[in-house]
């Protein structure tokens, strides 16, 4: 399998982490987004959206990170990251979609303003522009915290929903997003980040950010 990847992308990072958790060997092909490698004809033939990640498995091409994670987990069903039970799978989907629609975009925007702009010399953060997102974060973090009050993982057992959700928090410290008021979220992300699969997926990003 080949994964077209960008280390700074939370979407690509969650795919790397799931693959590592499943012990799936990926050939990782880095795509230089800043130099427009995602806009070349060859890349657009794989993903006309010009986005990473993209998975290629023996001629089968798949984009959208959550779909890729579902596919990888289905290749290794014995590992249980995407359960066969329809109700358990629906809960995994529920939280994956919730992250994609509600919490994820809000934290991503704040992270861009407070972390990425400074890292890449794109100007000062526009605090006024992210006030709606900060309100969304304040609304949705307690929802996740309440869910985690009586369980270790978002859907009960470790699943692709945890990896989808976890990627949301990659830049939380630099973005000034506190988890002090959501202790169950804080404990959950610590559990996820302590896993070798997560640490392996995060390593190239940390090297890039410290460089």
Using the structure block, give the residue that is written with the tokens 């014995």.
78
Say if residue 98 is in the same domain as residue 28: no
Cα distances from 55 to residues 18, 20, 84, 118, in angstroms, run 13, 14, 23, 31
Would you tell me how many other CB atoms lie within 10 Å of the CB of residue 56? 16
* Residue 49, domain extent: 2-79
d(CA 153, CA 122): 37
pLDDT of residue 204: 80
Question: Are both 104 and 182 inside the same structural domain?
Answer: yes
CATH value at residue 10: 3.40.30.10
Any idea which residue has 């407070």 for tokens?
Answer: 114
Domain harbouring 100, CATH code? 1.20.1050.10
pTM of the shown model:
0.93
User: Domain end: 64, 79, 94, which one?
Assistant: 79
DSSP 130: G
Q: Is residue 116 over pLDDT 90?
A: no
Q: Strands 2-5 and 54-57, how do they pair?
A: antiparallel
Helix (H/G/I), strand (E/B), else coil: 176: coil
Q: Is the same domain home to 69 and 99?
A: no
Please check whether residues 166 and 116 belong to one and the same domain. Answer: yes
pLDDT per position as a tens digit, 170-194: 999 999 999 999 999 999 999 999 9
Based on the domain organization, do 151 and 185 belong to the same domain?
yes
The arithmetic mean of pLDDT across residues 12-16, rounded, is 95
Confidence of residue 211 (pLDDT cuts 50, 70, 90): low
Query: How many domains does the chain fold into?
Result: 2
Q: Do residues 176 and 74 both lie within one domain?
A: no
Q: Please tell me the predicted confidence (pLDDT) of residue 206.
A: 72
User: For residue 23, how far is the Cα from the chain centroid?
Assistant: 18
In this structure, are 34 and 123 located in the same domain? no
Please check whether residues 106 and 66 belong to one and the same domain: no
**71 and 96 assigned to the same domain:** no
């Amino acid at each position: 399998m080949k994964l077209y990847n960008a280390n700074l992308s939370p979407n690509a990072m969650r795919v790397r982490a799931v693959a590592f958790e499943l012990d799936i060997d990926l050939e990782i092909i880095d795509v230089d987004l800043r130099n427009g490698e995602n806009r070349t004809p060859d890349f657009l033939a794989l993903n006309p959206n010009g986005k990473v990640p993209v998975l290629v498995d023996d001629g089968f091409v798949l984009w959208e990170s959550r779909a890729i994670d579902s596919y990888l987990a289905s290749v290794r069903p014995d590992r249980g990251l995407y359960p066969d039970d329809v109700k358990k799978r629906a809960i995994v989907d529920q939280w994956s979609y919730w992250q994609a629609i509600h919490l994820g975009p809000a934290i991503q925007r704040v992270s861009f303003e407070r972390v990425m702009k400074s890292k890449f010399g794109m100007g000062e953060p526009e605090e006024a522009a992210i006030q709606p997102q900060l309100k969304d974060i304040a609304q949705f973090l307690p929802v996740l915290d309440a869910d985690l009050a009586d369980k270790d993982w978002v859907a009960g057992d470790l699943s692709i929903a945890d990896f989808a959700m976890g990627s949301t928090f990659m830049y939380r410290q630099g973005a000034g997003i506190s988890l002090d008021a959501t202790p169950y979220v804080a404990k959950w992300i610590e559990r996820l980040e302590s896993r070798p699969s997560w640490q392996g997926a995060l390593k190239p990003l940390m090297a890039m950010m410290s460089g």
